[in-house]
Homo-oligomer: A and B are copies of this chain.
Amino acid sequence: MKTLAVNLGVRSYPIHIGEGLLRKPELITDHIRGRQVLVVTNETIAPLYLDTIRGVLNGFDLASVILPDGEQYKNIDTLNSVFTSLLEHRFNRRCTLVALGGGVVGDITGFAAACYQRGVAFLQLPTTLLAQVDSSVGGKTGVNHPLGKNMIGAFHQPGCVVIDTDTLDTLDQRQLAAGFAEVIKYGLIHDARFFTWIEQNIEQLKARDKLSLAYAIEKSCTIKAEIVAADERESGQRALLNLGHTFGHAIETGTGYGNWLHGEAVAAGMLMAADLSARHQWLPRSDVARIENLLQCAGLPTSPPAGMDEARFMELMAIDKKVLDGGLRLVLLKAIGTAVVTGDFSSALLSQTLTRAA
């Protein structure tokens, strides 16, 4: 088992990564304060792992809620069903929520914990690669609104993140690929050598080679933990983690939540960001080709859906959280391994990227 730390003063917490960790009670129970525990999971994960967790938490005043599976359910109604469950079980301010599932389960559970009685504890037990390398770490929680992705939420850090890499055995290939998008993102924004390593190991990763996956997860979490520790509330460099996300969120909202997986939309969005960077001659075309090739090898889309034209992108991106006082800011690449957040790009070139995309 490897253990990393997210250093945030009194809100610091460990990330444990290894095989079979969901069967190690102390990793989880050490971070539960009171007696009451609500496990939040979904209909796909519950048959696979809920009994295991119930066994581990034997002795607590335990309840569980099983949400429907999919981004289309990451909304305020599903959130409210978690509150209802907490209240039906008369859970008090010292209860702990446990998120057992992928990014949707983690985001909803964390936000429910942020709001229930104005804030209770929660833990992350991510079971998808995307949640393990990205969404379970850093305390961004929330739900979607029909008019915009992740528009309602809170910063609320978990008490710990326990990544059992065995859970990837039950993940379908499409979900696994979606996770690779965020892994590739870390290489692009922060670490050219890691990007090269992914290029060299993408076949082993797709074949679920345990050592390769464990290294990819550890490396991703290390980069994410470092960035979050330096800028918890995203007043600066944390925004780099949004590479491809402004385009990607527009795709997710524009196609209807749940049709494209988050990682798929981010993949197409990252290539759009690379294309726009190349149009500014910040990035050689050969690097765009490398990125496109890696995304394709990973089994990810490299262009947005046909129906998304320039006008639709602009309409949806206008509402993005990274839009400050009317100016659109994007994460673009100066090189593989080096990203910038900037509003200083040509709208004519952006138009070309969006037109080519359609």
- The distance in angstroms between the C-alpha atoms of A319 and B321, with both chains bound, is 36
Tally of chain A residues near chain B (CB < 8 A): 36
Apart from A87-B148, A117-B321, what 6 extra A-B contacts exist at CB < 8 Å? A80-B145, A87-B147, A90-B319, A92-B324, A117-B151, A118-B154
From known contacts A114-B154, A318-B90, infer whether A147 and B84 are also in contact, taking CB-CB under 8 Å.
yes
Within A72-96, the residues touching B (CB, 8 Å) are 76, 80, 83-84, 87-88, 90, 92-94
Q: Does chain B have a CB within 8 A of A140?
A: yes
For A34, the closest partner residue in chain B by CB is: B325
Q: How far is the CA of A76 from the CA of B87 in the complex (A)?
A: 15
Taking CB atoms, residues of chain B closer than 8 Å to A151 are: 83, 87, 116-117
Query: A356 on the interface (CB 8 Å rule)?
Result: no
Q: What's the Cα separation between A18 and B327 when bound, in Å?
A: 39
> At the interface, yes or no: A115 with Cβ under 8 Å from chain B?
yes
Determine whether the beta carbon of B147 is less than 8 Å from that of A118.
no
**A285 contacts the other chain (CB 8 A):** no
With CB as the reference atom, state the residue of chain B lying closest to A114.
Answer: B154
Q: Which A residues form the contact surface with B (CB < 8 A)?
A: 34-36, 76, 80, 83-84, 87-88, 90, 92-94, 114-119, 140, 142, 145, 147-148, 151-155, 318-319, 321, 323-326
Chain B residues within 8 Å of A325, by CB: 34-36, 92, 94
CB distance from A292 to the nearest CB of B (A): 31
Contact B153 A115 (CB under 8 A): yes
Residue of B nearest to A92 (CB): B323
Q: How far is the CA of A88 from the CA of B145 in the complex (A)?
A: 11
| Selected A-B contacts with CB under 8 Å, 15 pairs | A76-B80, A80-B145, A83-B145, A87-B145, A87-B151, A92-B321, A93-B323, A93-B324, A94-B324, A114-B154, A115-B142, A115-B152, A115-B154, A117-B151, A119-B154
